[in-house]
Structure formats: C-alpha cells, structure tokens
Structure 1
Amino acid sequence: MKHKLLSYFQHTMEQTSPPSPAQLELYYWFTLSAQNEWFGIHKKEVDDSQLDLLKNLFDYFLPEENNQQEELVWSQFLYLQGEMPPQEDQGTIRMIQFHIKGKDLEKGLMSDAFADFICSDSLLIWKNHHEGVIVERNQHYIQEEAFVSFAQAIQTDFFATITFFIGKEVQLSPALPTIFIQEKNIFSKGLSIIPSQSVLSLEKILPALFIHRLASDELELFNHCFSIFKEDKEVLLTIQTFIENNGHSTNTAKQLYIHRNTLQYRLDKFTEKTGFHLKDFSSFFTTYLACLLFNPSNQP
C-alpha cells in the first residue's frame, strides 16, 4: 500500500534513517517503526485532506510540533542525532516512552494532563499524536504505580489506552540516542506480545519475549509440566502473583484477598502436581515463564 501511495506523488523520499532538519522543512515525514523505514512527501504536493489521510495510515513524524525550545533540542538529539543538550543541571536521566491508542485525541488537553503528572524538571517530547517520550532528570523519577494510575485516568478521561515503557537510569552522553532506539525497539516488541500491560520495562518484556520465541516442540514440555495451569486458573493466578511479589506470602495473600493458609494450600498443590519447588531460583524463573505462557492476559 505504501508504494502505491508514493507512486501517486511525484517528489518522494525513502530512507532507513530519520530525516534531517533540512528535510523536515521541505517534506512531510512518516515512519514505519517496525520496519525502520522513513518516507517523505514534498509539502507542495500534499493538500490538507491528503495529509489527514496519510496521518491516519502511517505514523506522522514532526518532532518540533508543540515542543518548546528545550524540548526541541532534546527531540533533535534523540530522534535526529542532533547536538547533545548541555550537561549542566541534567544529572542522571531516565527516558519514559509512551504509546497512545485512541481516535480524535485532543493533543493539547493530553499535554495538559501530562503537565500535571510529570515532575517540574521533566520534559515532555511528542514524536507525533500517538507517541513520545518523557525525559526525567536529576533523579526525580515517578514510581511505577503512579504510571499505572495515570494510564487508568487517561482511559477514563480521554477514552484512550496509553502504555509506558520505563527505561533505565543513564548518564547524559553521546551514546544516549542509541540507547533510546534500543529501548524503543524493545518497547515495540512488548506492545505486541503483552498488550494488556499499561507499564512495561526491560525486565517485563525479555522473559515474555523469550517464551514467545520457543519452538512448538520446545513448548510441548511446558504444556506437559505445567498442565495444572490449564486445568486450574486459580492456581495460575496465585503462582504468578506469588512470583511477582518475590515470594512474599503476606503481600501475595493481601493482593489476592485470601488467607495465608489458602495461599499455602495452593502453593503446596502446585508443587505436588508439578514437582517444582519455588524456593529454588531456577524453578522460580522457569515457572514464571510458564505463567507468561498460560495466562490469557499476556497473550497478543
């Protein structure tokens, strides 16, 4: 479809790298992030209705839009390999990428909601109407639980679904755009394989990515060893919650609204049926992979 559309316009450009500032002045740019493809259409050839159609079909790339001067410097640095922002008063940083699903998004209102949520020295940088990044600076980091609550508020107020990717704490350096792209690629995979999660991270995505890449014959052993997860979804939920609470019984029971004796009964039932003891790290990790495989909420 892309090639048919491009053949309609006389002056187009295709490349595998982001557009330069000079190219942004002359062309409307769109990206197919999954294929790492960029294409531009000369502004003189596109009327408003055609531009609206292209925005609906592809990811519209215009990092300057709605960005103030400081945000613009960061946008050019992260997306276009521009000059590095000044290092003073930056401290360590963390990049929080986000992706929004929804129609007729009021970007201005969305930006206002973000402004009330993020820290005062954080920067909100839009890539297009559906994605961008929050640059948290000086170790002023928002906790994961707050991102979950904010995602729920966005869904209620804007009828849109937002997913965050919490990057790692890093120092400002020339290598940062490369780290940003690496985290963006992992985020893209996470959106595909665990779409139910509103907050993602490297730690959440890599195990799920691993289990989804196993061959069918390799998965047969999981199906055999953890057949209890197919038969008893209550046990599946209990075991996954127990592991995600780092084996802390009190927190697990509280989260599931059950008595600790009930929790212990289910843990014993799991061990009896599978032979896996969750006090052993290898069993702990293998069982968690099985939870990701069998839990319907983790399926694409």
Structure 2
Amino acid sequence: MKHKLLAYYKHSLEQSMPPTPAQLSAYYWFKIDFQDDWIGIPKQELDESQLELLKACYDFFQPDETLTKEDYAWNQYLYFNGDQPSFKNIEALRFIQFQIKGDTTSLEKKLIESAFEGFIHANSLIIWNGFNEGVVIEQNAHYLEDEDFIALAQALQSDFFFSICFYIGKEMKLSSPIPTIFGQERNLFSRGLAFMPKSNVLSLETILPNLLISRLREDELELFKEWFSLFEEDKELLLTIKTFIENNGHATNTAKQLFIHRNTLQYRLDKFTEKTGFDLKNYHSYITTYLACLYYTSGK
C-alpha cells in the first residue's frame, strides 16, 4: 500500500523521521503502521475526501498547539516514535487508551479532562492524539479497576452525550520496549472496537477470544454449527449461557442480571448440558462453549 501511495502521488516524500516544522506547511504527513516510515503528500494534490480517507487509514500527523511541552513529548513518543520523555519518578506505568465515537470537533477537551480527573489518580497523565482519541498514563501501580472506567464512560455519556470506549493495557516496566507495546495494544484496541462496538471497556482478555474466532476457517467453524446448533434456534438460551460464563459461573449474579429466578437459570443450564453434552463444570467445555457463544453473537 505504501508503494501505491508513493506512485499515485508523484511529488510525495518518504522518510524515516517525523516531519520538521518547515515540512508541515506544504505537506500532509502520515505515519505508516508502527514503523519508522513517514509519507508526506503535497497539500495541493489532496482533495478533502482523499484526506479524510487517508486519515482513516493511517496516523495523521497534526501537532496540537494547545499541548503542554510534557504532553507533546509523550504524544510524539507514543504515536510518532519521537524521543523518550522524562521518566522522572516513574517506576512502572500502564496505558489506558480511549476513543470517543462520533463527531468530537465541537467538544471542549478541558471539560472532558475535568471529568476524567474526577476518577483517575492525581499523578496520571492525559495525552490526546487528535480530537477523538488519546491515552491515560497511570503510574506506579495507581491503577483503576475496570468498573471505574465503566462508571467514567457512563458519566461522560450522561454529561456530554457521546459514547467512549477504553482499552485497559498491561503494566510495563521502564525496561520494556514501551512504544512498540503501546502500538501493539493500539492495534488490538482497533480490532476490539470492530468486534465489540457496544463495549465501554476492552482488554486483551476480552478481545483475544473474538480474535481467535475470527481466524478460524469456514470448515472449522462448521464444528460450532454442528455442536451448538441449538444456539441458532434458542437465542434466550444463548444469552443465558453467555451471561453465566461472563459472570464466572456465579449463579446469583447471572440470575439477577437476566431478571430470572435461580431455578429458571438452573433449568436452562441443565437443558444446555442435556442437548449438547457440554458440562460447564469442566474447564475445557467452559472455554469451548464461550467461543461458540461469541461466534453466535458475532452476527456471522
């Protein structure tokens, strides 16, 4: 794809370093994947529709003049392979990436940051990349729980009328290849948004099973159709089994979430085992059944 871009836009530039200030006036700049690969396309060669399409495909380099010096350093380090910022007083960190859905050009970043600050630890940083995405950098084990980010997403939707999704990264030591891991998590986040567009909080654990299902061949997926065909016929049972597994097999929580009596839940669990032969008390059956639930709820 990179070579096609360079061939199509005859006067475009390719380089391994971020653009200099002098290069920003005449060219639009894009970072290709997560490598040290930059393409500058002359502004006069791009119309508005082409520019929006390229923004959707690649990281568009657009320095935010409102960023503080520290914020700008982190932005360049994480998103554009810039120099390492100061790690003073940081022993370990975790990235919480976020993406706001819909048109965000009219939103006030400062107001959104104020809402964030009501939840996150005082030493956490909020770094933006454009108008609708960014990252919360949590430091030194001052980490929020998943439930806290669910509450934050609900608060933002209530106050600002937009939906937001968070990706909970893993803790990293300073010796880790931080920009590389951040890029991998960002890529996984993008996949998760496609798999689970209605989710408010994503993570490796929630995305990986969906990723595994998406990579199965059609003949392999036929196994799920054979063993779990009742999910096609009984959507109520599908929801029940999926909810039961996602509640770690906790019957009371599952019944409460589904607004049913525990006896009704047990009846459905017994029905599932009787019809399929899969016992949810068995670890391997548990995992296989959950993958089947994801397959039947993916819309395939």
Per the TM superposition, whether the score is higher than 0.5 is yes
Tell which deviates more after alignment, 146-155 or 52-61. Answer: 52-61
CA contact (8 A) 1:20 1:80 kept: yes
For residues 113 and 56 of structure 1, what CA distance do their matches in structure 2 show? 31
For residues 79 and 104 of structure 2, what CA distance do their matches in structure 1 show? 25
Select 2:257's aligned residue among 251, 255, 258.
255
Aligned residue number for residue 129 of structure 1: 131
CA contact (8 A) 1:63 1:125 kept: no
CA contact (8 A) 1:84 1:174 kept: no
Taking structure 1 as the reference length, the TM-score comes to 0.83
Aligned residue number for residue 142 of structure 1: 144
Aligned residue number for residue 179 of structure 1: 181
**3-state SS in 1 of match to 2:20:** helix
For residues 53 and 114 of structure 2, what CA distance do their matches in structure 1 show? 23
Q: Is 1:73 the equivalent of 2:104? A: no
> 1:39-60 CA distances to partner (integer Å, 9 max, x unpaired)?
3245xx56xx967983576253
Does the C-alpha gap of structure 1 residues 9 and 107 become closer, same or farther in structure 2, counting only changes over 3 Å?
A: farther
Taking structure 2 as the reference length, the TM-score comes to 0.83
Tell which deviates more after alignment, 277-286 or 70-79. Answer: 70-79
**3-state SS in 1 of match to 2:123:** coil
**3-state SS in 1 of match to 2:197:** coil
For residues 24 and 200 of structure 1, what CA distance do their matches in structure 2 show? 39
Does the C-alpha gap of structure 1 residues 10 and 294 become closer, same or farther in structure 2, counting only changes over 3 Å?
A: closer
**3-state SS in 2 of match to 1:125:** strand
> 1:233-267 CA distances to partner (integer Å, 9 max, x unpaired)?
12111111111111122222222222221111111
For residues 152 and 178 of structure 2, what CA distance do their matches in structure 1 show? 27
Does the C-alpha gap of structure 1 residues 291 and 65 become closer, same or farther in structure 2, counting only changes over 3 Å?
A: farther
- Cα displacement (A) at 1:139: 1.3
**3-state SS in 2 of match to 1:141:** coil
- Cα displacement (A) at 1:10: 7.5
**3-state SS in 1 of match to 2:285:** helix
- Cα displacement (A) at 1:299: 4.2
- Cα displacement (A) at 1:91: 2.6
Segments of structure 2 that go 5 or more residues without pairing to the other structure are none
CA contact (8 A) 1:76 1:82 kept: yes
Q: Is 1:94 the equivalent of 2:89? A: no
Does the C-alpha gap of structure 1 residues 73 and 104 become closer, same or farther in structure 2, counting only changes over 3 Å?
A: closer
Aligned 1:41-120 pairs, distance under 5 A: 41=41, 45=43, 54=51, 58-59=55-56, 60-105=60-105, 106-108=107-109, 109-120=111-122
- Cα displacement (A) at 1:31: 5.0
Does the C-alpha gap of structure 1 residues 223 and 51 become closer, same or farther in structure 2, counting only changes over 3 Å?
A: closer
Aligned residue number for residue 30 of structure 2: 30
- Cα displacement (A) at 1:121: 1.0
CA contact (8 A) 1:271 1:277 kept: yes
The residue identity in structure 2 corresponding to 1:210 is L
- Cα displacement (A) at 1:200: 0.9
For residues 194 and 119 of structure 2, what CA distance do their matches in structure 1 show? 26
Segments of structure 1 that go 5 or more residues without pairing to the other structure are none
For residues 126 and 85 of structure 2, what CA distance do their matches in structure 1 show? 15
CA contact (8 A) 1:65 1:126 kept: no
- Cα displacement (A) at 1:178: 0.9
Does the C-alpha gap of structure 1 residues 146 and 290 become closer, same or farther in structure 2, counting only changes over 3 Å?
A: same
CA contact (8 A) 1:63 1:75 kept: no
For residues 57 and 207 of structure 1, what CA distance do their matches in structure 2 show? 30
For residues 167 and 272 of structure 2, what CA distance do their matches in structure 1 show? 32
Aligned length: 293
- Cα displacement (A) at 1:87: 3.4
The residue identity in structure 2 corresponding to 1:262 is T
Does the C-alpha gap of structure 1 residues 152 and 29 become closer, same or farther in structure 2, counting only changes over 3 Å?
A: farther
Does the C-alpha gap of structure 1 residues 88 and 166 become closer, same or farther in structure 2, counting only changes over 3 Å?
A: same
CA contact (8 A) 1:13 1:41 kept: yes
